[in-house]
Amino acid sequence: MKQFFFFFIALSFLLVTNAQTGLNIPLKKELDSLKTLDQRYRAALIANMRGKGDSLAKVYGIKKEHLNEHLWKLQGEIDSLNTARVEEIINKHGYPGISLVGNPTNEAAFYILQHSKVIDKYLPVIKEAAEKNELRFQLYAMMLDRSLMFQDKEQIYGTQGSGMSVKNPVTGNWENLSFIWPIHDPLNVNQRRKKAGFTDTVEESAKSMRIDYKIYTLEEILKWREEIMKADNN
C-alpha cells in the first residue's frame, strides 16, 4: 500500500510539473533522439578529417579512400528521414521552440534543417522563432548565411566556411583551400556578430573550424570555381 501511495505521489508530481512547464515531453524525447541521429556519422567524418581514417576504415570494413563517401551516404539517409519528420512536426506544432520542448531541445529541429536541402523553405520559420525568443538569434544568422552561400551570394555574419581546389600560380599545382565564404562588408562583420549575440569574432570562429581567416571576394571564389569546371572538362 505504501509503495502504491509513493508511486501515486511521484506520478502526480510529474503530471503537475509537466502541466506547469507546458513542455511536450514525448516530443522533446523524440527531438533529442533525432538530434543524436543528426550527429551519428558527422563525428566520424570529423575524426577522419583529423587523421583517424585508418582506424575508422577498419571499423566499417572499407578502404580508407572510400570512407568519406561511405559515411556521407549513411548520414544522408538519416538526414532525409530526419528532415521529413521535422517537417511533419512543424506542420503540426509550428517550430518546436523553447516553450514547447525546452532548452537545448529547441535547437534540434534547427540543426536538422540546417543540414537539409529545404533551408530556404524554412528560413522564415527559423527567423520567426528567433524573433519570438523560441530559438537563439545566432542560429537564424547561421541559416541565413548558409542560404546566401548556397545562392552564391555574400554571407552576412561570417559563420560559413567552404573549400575547393585552386591552382597555385607559382607551381601550377592544384591545392586544397579552406576559407570563410565571402562576407558582405567584412570590415564591420564583428560588429554585426556582436549585435546578433555571437561571443567570438569571425577570426576566432574561423580558427575553431581550422581555417586561417582571410578576406576573399565573391568574384575570386566564383572565378576559381569556373577554372575548376574548365579543368574538369579538359
Residue position matching grid coordinates 512547464: 21
DSSP structural state of residue 171:
T
Note the pLDDT tens digit of each residue in 76-105: 999 999 999 999 999 999 999 999 999 999
CB contact at 8 A, 95 and 128:
yes
The pLDDT confidence band at residue 165, using thresholds 50, 70 and 90, is: confident
Note the pLDDT tens digit of each residue in 148-161: 999 999 999 999 99
Q: Check whether 111 has a pLDDT greater than 60.
A: yes
- Residue 94, judged by CB atoms within 10 A of its CB (0-12, 13-18, 19+), counts as middle
Average pLDDT, the chain: 90
Q: Check whether 226 has a pLDDT greater than 50.
A: yes
Higher per-residue pLDDT: 139 or 10: 139
Q: Check whether 167 has a pLDDT greater than 80.
A: no
Q: Check whether 14 has a pLDDT greater than 60.
A: no
Which grid coordinates are listed for 196? 546578433
Q: How far is CA 16 from CA 5, 74, 107, in A?
A: 16, 41, 25
Question: What does the pLDDT average to over 1-9?
Answer: 49
Q: Check whether 210 has a pLDDT greater than 70.
A: yes
Instruction: Determine the pLDDT at residue 26.
Output: 98
Q: Check whether 5 has a pLDDT greater than 50.
A: no
Q: Check whether 125 has a pLDDT greater than 80.
A: yes
Instruction: Determine the pLDDT at residue 20.
Output: 42
36: enclosing H helix or E strand: helix 25-38
CB contact at 8 A, 190 and 202:
yes
The predicted model scores a pTM of: 0.85
